Amino acid sequence: MLKIGNIEMKNQVVLAPMAGVCNPAFRLIAKEFGTGLVCAEMVSDKAIVHGNKRTRQMLFVDEREKPLSLQIVGGDRQSLVEAAKVVDKETNADIIDINMGCPVPKITKCDAGARWLLNPDKIYEMVSAVVDAVEKPVTVKMRIGWDSEHIYVVENALAVERAGGQAVSVHGRTREQLYTGTADWSHIKNVKEAISIPVIGNGDVATPEDARRMLDETGCDGVMIGRAALGNPWMLYRTIQYLSSGELLPDPEAEEKIRVAILHMDRLVALKGEVVAVREMRKHLAWYLKGLKGSARIKDVIMEGTKRDEMVHILENFVSQLHQEGPSDAERAVAENAS
């Protein structure tokens, strides 16, 4: 099993720290679906140090989510260390993760996120300063490099280990790629062979079979799932089951997807209030509806929704209409051939 410092996970599946997604409402669902480790969305070091109310809310951890990793980002050593101290002493997160992969210009221009990928010495300096200041295990999430001409992932991972980092998550893309192209898992394998601390692989894990293949091809200790879990926490559960037993569970029925979508929305309402939560849930509901027959016709309606009850009514009507319509011609043909 995956173990980071003295924190032991019950399996090898990790939820990636996605901005605008990994708040307590979604993280708790991921945990209820069995995820070994959930990661909170990135929080700015300066925002933590300045202590604004919204940022402090982002540091909230429900005990049911644990073990949980809370991610910080910054380019200034003093503020990064001070932010890490806040997470260490004032939150019940289990792990402090440093973001070294965010490709967004507003982050890299501040000498933070993926900018560090160009300088292993800075990585050592920053990570060692945080490790010396806190008691919780410190980890790093990185990309393989800045661009195809500057891939220093092994040197960077070695710097993290030398600085006292307890694990490294490696996304198999460069900063230049953003989320396009293909993740190169060979670099994850190279990192695993070079360091002795746990390595978590990330990038292009879209199915449970992908997760198995990543573990087999790279030898990594854990698999991080990001975009494949959007509106689809079943991907997490199905991956856990597949890795442990080889059993590939079916995708959920429409009723189950809608039930969990409403649960997600209700938790978000409790967390942020109806006005903010419903607006934020629009993108999540589009993800939950993805792949369901006839969902295109209600997505536009959902994007205009402002009330929780209104959204629930739309979703429940959609499911009841699916039953009234019965199977499609293609589904009927498959059933007849099977019989």
Q: Which residues are catalytic?
A: 102
- Residues 321 and 308: their CA atoms lie apart, in Å, by 20
- Please report the sign of the dihedral spanned by the C-alpha atoms of residue 68, residue 74, residue 77, residue 82: negative
Place of tokens 């429409």: 254
203 three-state secondary structure: coil
Rg over alpha carbons for the chain, rounded to the nearest Å, is 21
DSSP codes of every residue in 273-299: -HHHHHHHHHHHHHHHHTTSTTTHHHH
- Residues 256 and 198: their CA atoms lie apart, in Å, by 35
DSSP state, residue 36? S
Classify 151 in phi/psi space as left (phi over 0), alpha (psi -120 to 50) or beta: beta
Query: Whose CA is closest to 211, among 187, 246, 175?
Result: 246
**Contacts for 330 with CB less than 8 Å, ≥ 6 apart:** none
